[in-house]
Chains A and B, each alone.
Chain A
Amino acid sequence: MNSSDADVGRKHRFDRLVGVWHRDMYRYAAWLCRDPAIAEDVVQEALLRAWKSLDGLRDDAAAKQWVLTIVRRENARHFERKRLETVDIDNLTASQAAMLAESSDSDLDDVRQAIYRLEDDYREPLVLQVLMGHSTKEIAELMDIKPGAVLTRLHRARNKLKDEIGEGAAA
């Protein structure tokens, strides 16, 4: 195989294993940093890291966990560089506010705001479980905490949300 064939093969593998997850990468990044503009930057950095490190991915079936791990690290790097202050929901930047832009569904808006306000430690496992379909074990590996801690954070997160938003209009 010449270098051109290898490049094409690498690009195909990248599209198949990494590109397919770009929407999940964005949503995960957005809920980690709570800022759509930063999330786009984080996803771009993560895509470049994934491209560079693609040969290190040995198990194709683990691609999603692998790319989300890269997103998580890139998000951490971003905030290490920027040293951004804590987000105050009553004093959001335009980009942050865009994530909470009102829709025609007031219940959806209420739930989204309540999730936005959750502490990072509670919000992240919730995103990974509900949005990404991760198991407790996968969340524990990604967040580098014990499965028991994942379960504790998840039940606290839901109980906080339940207390805040109640049963909703549909209940």
Chain B
Amino acid sequence: MSAAGQNMNCEDYKQAIAADPSESFDGGALHSSECSSCNAIKAEMQALDVRIAAALAIDVPDLKMPELPAITGEGKVVDLASRRPIRWTTPAWIGLAASVVLATVIGVRMTNTGMEHAGMVDGTLAEQVIAHLDYEPRALTVTDVAVSDRELYSVVRPAIATLDRDLGLITYAMSCKINGREVPHLVIQGEKGPVTILLMPEEMVGMPIRLEGKSIEGVILPVGNGSIAIIGERGERIDELKTRVTETVKWSI
């Protein structure tokens, strides 16, 4: 290497990039931008990490939820052999929220969104998506402050999906639970306001599900073996967002 990277030599860089292929360490980006051989090593390590992430993402079985004992202050952890396993169930809040949405479908307006989905195809998923909007209203803040790469990629992990920042100004990223599965919940700032995007790699839908409300609209889009929900304010360019989302998000599982 010649004058590349004033604070880091190639040997240091090789060790650092093998420990952290995201290149978040000090001086890494500067060094690789000026050193072609180290830049090639970075690409090699990042390609290796994609393979590692895929290999680590083993199938998760239907886990059995242990019976949770009443907490009396002197509670004792129940012995494995004496527990009666039950199926892992959808958390109670999802059940409650879904009930609220069902009430919406039969004519009662929901608190924030006033939203329902057109038709009843894949109703359960649509109901949970809609309910989730009311569950995390703080996500829908108008802001120009983007989430950090670290925050974003700890939610959209390589084992789930890859995406790039071309998606838009991402101002919220949180792991949430839809239909009993952990999914990345992102918010980007659209033309009319915040747009919610739920990446659901394991929720297959047969066709796009249109979501319509008094003040907002959206769609659950089939993408590969999963689906992506996109919900924005009324008048938001959902069709344009659909294209952008499908171009920038790739499932890993």
Residues of A within 8 A of B (CB): 7-8, 10-12, 14-16, 19-24, 26-27, 30-31, 36, 40-41, 43-45, 47-49, 51-52, 64, 99, 107-108, 111-112, 115, 126-127, 129-136, 150-152, 154-155, 158-159, 161-162, 165, 167-168, 170-171
Contact = CB atoms under 8 A, between A and B. Distances in A.
Interface of B: 15-16, 18-21, 44-45, 47-49, 51-58, 60-61, 63-66, 68-71, 75, 77-78, 80, 83, 85, 88, 91-93, 150, 153-155, 157-159, 175-177, 181-182
Contacts of B54: 108, 111
Given A108-B54, A111-B54, A154-B20, A171 B47 contact: yes
A120 to B, nearest CB: 15
A31 B56 contact: yes
User: Which of A133, A162, A170 has the most CB atoms of chain B within a 10 A radius of its CB?
Assistant: A133
A36 B147 CA distance: 35
Nearest to A20: B177
Nearest to B183: A20
A19 B89 CA distance: 10
A26 B159 CA distance: 14
Given A48-B68, A107-B51, A115-B56, 13 more contacts: A12-B91, A15-B93, A20-B182, A22-B63, A26-B60, A43-B63, A51-B68, A52-B77, A64-B175, A115-B55, A136-B19, A151-B20, A158-B19
B60 A23 contact: yes
Contact of A133 (B68, B92, B154): B154
User: Which of A7, A49, A51, A150 has the most CB atoms of chain B within a 10 A radius of its CB?
Assistant: A51
B78 to A, nearest CB: 6
Contacts of A48: 66, 68-69, 77-78, 83
A88 to B, nearest CB: 20
Interface of A (DSSP majority class): helix
B18 A52 contact: no
Contacts of B157: 131-133
B68 A130 contact: no
Given A40-B63, A131-B157, A133-B153, A126 B52 contact: yes
A27 B63 CA distance: 12
Shortest 4 CB-CB contacts between residues of A and residues of B: A15-B91, A133-B154, A155-B18, A111-B55
A15 B92 contact: yes
Given A14-B68, A155-B18, A36 B91 contact: no
Nearest to B15: A155
Contact of B71 (A10, A150, A154): A10
B92 A12 contact: yes
B159 A130 contact: yes
A88 B68 CA distance: 36
A30 B58 contact: yes
Nearest to B202: A23
A131 B92 CA distance: 27
Contacts of A12: 91-93
